[in-house]
Structure 1
Amino acid sequence: MALELYNPFDELIFDESFCFLTGKLSLESVSVFPEWLLDHFKIGDDPFEMMEKEKIFRYRDLRLPCTSEVKNAFDQLDEKFREAYQKGYEGIAALEEELIFQWSAKIVYGIMHHEFQHEKKRMARRGEEFQISKDLKERFGLFHLMLQSVIKPVKFKGRKPWSLVVFPLKYSADIFSYRDDMINLLFTMGVDQFGFIIHMQDNGAIAEREQELLEKMKGYVLHPVQYEELYAKFHYSDYLLQYRPKYNIEFTDNQVIIESVPMSADQNRPLFGFWDQKVYAQLLANYWEVYGIRQEDIIRHQRPMLSFLQDPYSHDFIDPEKIDLPF
């Protein structure tokens, strides 16, 4: 008999009585954002705004119901990440990619859990049934399956399901920069000494698209404005990706093996759609708002598009030390 694993998206279960990862009776809970991280940056009591703007949590109130087994597993995972965090970029870069995925995926799933739980309750008050599309059920169910690798024999074979880039980053010591896109399974985190960006379900396609730029980055400690630009590239590339990732999944008696299928285009359409500079500039302006950089500053009349990553003429990587903007 093949190994059977829990999938909350079959019945859209986001109840506090059941473990988010196993579906068993919940006796414990685990913080969505690690408590040591909240304490370090003193953001535990800061507001966390949900997609529905009227609902606001505190960071420390975001918790996931779980069994003691799941709590222990994530506590051990988090301790490994914390030890690497304390070593800065070198520590994080030395971590196995799967561990970074698991650590980040718990945060993304935790936000998803609270978003869906809130929406389910809101619709119930209106006498309506909460539903999500078949495609999202499939995507999120697969994401949940991958996250179960923390406690179950879920193995990744060959090509990984994600794009992940880790890089040195110079930031003010008190800044915690974080963004997520739970629908498209994107996550990024930037602090002093390091940053990383992960797309959790693109089979490496976006990292391959940006491979030339990522090679040019090596040896540099990025400025925050460069970090934001890099994430904007990942985010917009995800929007342009025209194919769904595919997987060969083998269920055996004692394990699940997930093998990512390389993405390839057919003759009718390319892997990525047309890159619209105006749309990209609008997205990038949102990330650069803190610097007072607007869309009209990015697309400039009769001048190359503004970039802090590459020189528009030579295409060389721009030395972060030459960027005259605050950290």
Structure 2
Amino acid sequence: MQQQHLAIYDPFENMRFGYRICFLCGNTITPDQTAQVFPEWLMQEYGITDRPLQMLDQSVVQFQELQVPCCRRCQTQYVQPLEDQVQEAAQRGVAGLRALDPALLFQWLGKMFYGTLINELIKEQDPLIKPEYAVSEQPKMLMKFQAFFRVLQSIRVPMTFADFLPGSIFVVEVDAAAEPSRFEFRDDLTTMMISLRLDNALIVCCLLDNELLKRAMRRVWAEVEPRKLQPIQAAEFSARVFYGAYLLNVIPDYLPRPVKPQDEVVVMDSLIDDITDVIFNPWENSAYAKMLALSWARWGVTQQDILKDTEAPMSMLFTPAGEFIEFPEIPEQK
């Protein structure tokens, strides 16, 4: 294997983002060379091709309009094979997605997250309405994205991670018969969070935490993983993960080990700056209740409902004694 195949590309060094730069390898390309941010099979299966999506500059695009510049080599040799593997796994539902190599699921989710980010960065060059906090003007966020892209290049560069996975991934089984919605999408650039609902599978992922969040939530996850959740329970679990990512107080960085002439893969190590820092900021019930209320809005549950007991926010997952709730009672449906 040639050494250049193991070279790490860094578009953040000189902010090289545009329609003529391949998002994955950095080669100069023609504008017609693109890849869908949300894969064709996903858009067709869930009928979201023309569904609207609002960007940070307040412009509205359709899912099918979100594309990334991608050279034909990266598209055919790396992106499409990844899509094929995930599509096959998704066709087998929760079991298929859980059986998929977590590194592949990380790459797939990361590609959609990063593709959306690139569209935001390109739009910032000529925004409809200038965002209050432009991504390209926030050094801390750019540092996170730069670190994230180093490991996302595992799509293209043969790479192994030394005793870690860059993100926390949860695949939750949802009772799809309880709600007609087949597809949901949510992401948050600040916390590096993404979630997808695909029929009875809810995938929730923090893309830059070295599984710190999954370890912190291990007791909750041990109860949730083997069960089929009602949609309102799945929404609560998602809110817990999103809020946990909000509390995360460290940013992992990634360093490739020096490549020797005989090497065929890049080994990536990880470090966290200043390990004396608190990993998670303190939990605040009021802030969590605000996030949970957003997740429960469709059921008409408000922040005030959630905080009737300010010391113990309402939960559809667990009783005050910590026991799992098999059949949650939604307040308005009592």
Are 1:143 and 2:148 counterparts? Answer: yes
Are 1:256 and 2:266 counterparts? Answer: yes
Distance (whole Å) between structure 2 residues aligned to residue 8 and residue 289 of structure 1: 39
**Structure 1 position 264, deviation (Å):** 9.1
Distance (whole Å) between structure 2 residues aligned to residue 199 and residue 160 of structure 1: 11
Are 1:293 and 2:301 counterparts? Answer: yes
The residue matched to 2:228 in structure 1 has which SS?
Answer: coil
Distance (whole Å) between structure 2 residues aligned to residue 228 and residue 264 of structure 1: 34
Counterpart selection for 2:322 from 308, 311, 315? 315
Show the counterpart of 2:22: 19
Q: 1:219 to 1:86 in 2, by over 3 A?
A: same
Equivalent residue letter for 2:219:
E
Distance (whole Å) between structure 2 residues aligned to residue 215 and residue 136 of structure 1: 32
**Structure 1 position 99, deviation (Å):** 0.5
**Structure 1 position 235, deviation (Å):** 1.5
Counterpart selection for 2:237 from 230, 233, 250? 230
Q: Which residues in structure 2 correspond to 1:1-327 (within 5 Å)?
A: 3-27=6-30, 28-53=33-58, 55-72=59-76, 73-122=78-127, 131-171=136-176, 172=179, 174-253=181-260, 254=263, 255-261=265-271, 266=276, 270-301=278-309, 304-312=312-320, 314-319=321-326, 321-323=327-329
Q: Answer whether contact 2:248 2:281 (CA < 8 A) is retained.
A: yes
The residue matched to 1:75 in structure 2 has which SS?
Answer: helix
**Structure 1 position 154, deviation (Å):** 2.5
Distance (whole Å) between structure 2 residues aligned to residue 318 and residue 262 of structure 1: 37
Q: Answer whether contact 2:289 2:303 (CA < 8 A) is retained.
A: yes
**Structure 1 position 77, deviation (Å):** 0.7
Deviations 1:61-105 (A, max 9, x none): 111111111111211111111111111111111000001001001
| TM-score under structure 1 length normalisation | 0.89
**Structure 1 position 141, deviation (Å):** 1.5
The count of aligned residue pairs is 318
**Structure 1 position 248, deviation (Å):** 4.5
Equivalent residue letter for 2:258:
F
Q: Answer whether contact 1:154 1:257 (CA < 8 A) is retained.
A: yes
Distance (whole Å) between structure 2 residues aligned to residue 264 and residue 8 of structure 1: 26
Q: Answer whether contact 2:135 2:141 (CA < 8 A) is retained.
A: no
Report the RMSD for the aligned CA atoms in angstroms: 2.6
Q: List alignment gaps of at least 5 residues for structure 2.
A: none
Distance (whole Å) between structure 1 residues aligned to residue 184 and residue 135 of structure 2: 32
Percent of aligned pairs sharing the same letter:
27
Q: Answer whether contact 2:248 2:279 (CA < 8 A) is retained.
A: yes
Q: Answer whether contact 1:109 1:182 (CA < 8 A) is retained.
A: no
Distance (whole Å) between structure 1 residues aligned to residue 118 and residue 73 of structure 2: 19
**Structure 1 position 119, deviation (Å):** 0.7
Distance (whole Å) between structure 2 residues aligned to residue 150 and residue 248 of structure 1: 17
Q: 1:156 to 1:143 in 2, by over 3 A?
A: same
Distance (whole Å) between structure 1 residues aligned to residue 161 and residue 75 of structure 2: 23
Q: Answer whether contact 1:178 1:190 (CA < 8 A) is retained.
A: yes
Q: Answer whether contact 1:29 1:63 (CA < 8 A) is retained.
A: yes
Stretch moving more, 290-299 or 153-162? 153-162
Stretch moving more, 154-163 or 78-87? 154-163
